[in-house]
Amino acid sequence: MALAASLLVLLLVTPAAYAVQYTVGDSAGWTTTGDYTSWVQGKTFTVGDTLLFSYDGSHGVEEVTKSDYDNCNTGNSLKSYSDGNTVIALSNTGPMYFICPTIGHCAGGMKLAINVVAASGNSPSNPSSPSGSTTPSGSGAPGSMNGGLMLGFWLVLGAVLAITS
């Protein structure tokens, strides 16, 4: 029972504790053939996660405003990268926009828009969970004793049934 409670706490804490690195475009990477609107679907980007842009020398990564994303304007990026293996830390909540600065690539679909959510967003009761979460699963030590007794009872019953049948 103590183990079960520990596991429960672990399950409640892990979603916030583990940062995820998303490889943009998965194995295909950051290319002109990628469909980054589809790639974003179903993913939750959380503060603390990172994006990995993997690309060859014909591409780059620019973080831009929504307006520049919409218009594929490469003139005034917020940040610009060209190292081929760019890791972007998602450190603030809200939307982020990325485009490839190579002429024609953004217009061809080489653009990525994500929304970053707060790390605590999907587990708001976390601060009180280590002690509070044990309440639903019984009351600690007495519960584990009852559990042991019940297990013993069922083992004996099972043995009796096995013998008598």
| Binding site residues, Cu ion, CB under 5 A | 59, 100, 102, 105, 110
Instruction: Count CB-CB contacts under 10 A for residue 150.
Output: 10
Which CB sits closer to Cu ion, 90 or 100? 100
| Nearest approach, Cβ of residue 75 and Cu ion (Å) | 16
Beta carbon nearer to Cu ion, 111 or 134: 111
- Rounded to an integer, what is the distance from CA 39 to the centroid of its chain? 14
In the complex, minimum distance from the CB of residue 66 to Cu ion, in angstroms, rounded to a whole number: 20
3-class SS string, 4-61: HHHHHHHHHHHHHHCCCEEECCHHHCCCCCCCHHHHHCCCCEECCCEEEEECCCCCCE
Closest Cα partner for 69 from 61, 21, 89? 61
Q: Shortest distance, CB of residue 12 to Cu ion, whole angstroms?
A: 41
Nearer to Cu ion, 102 or 129 (CB): 102
Residue 115 CB, nearest approach to Cu ion (Å): 23
| Smaller CB separation from Cu ion, 59 or 62 | 59
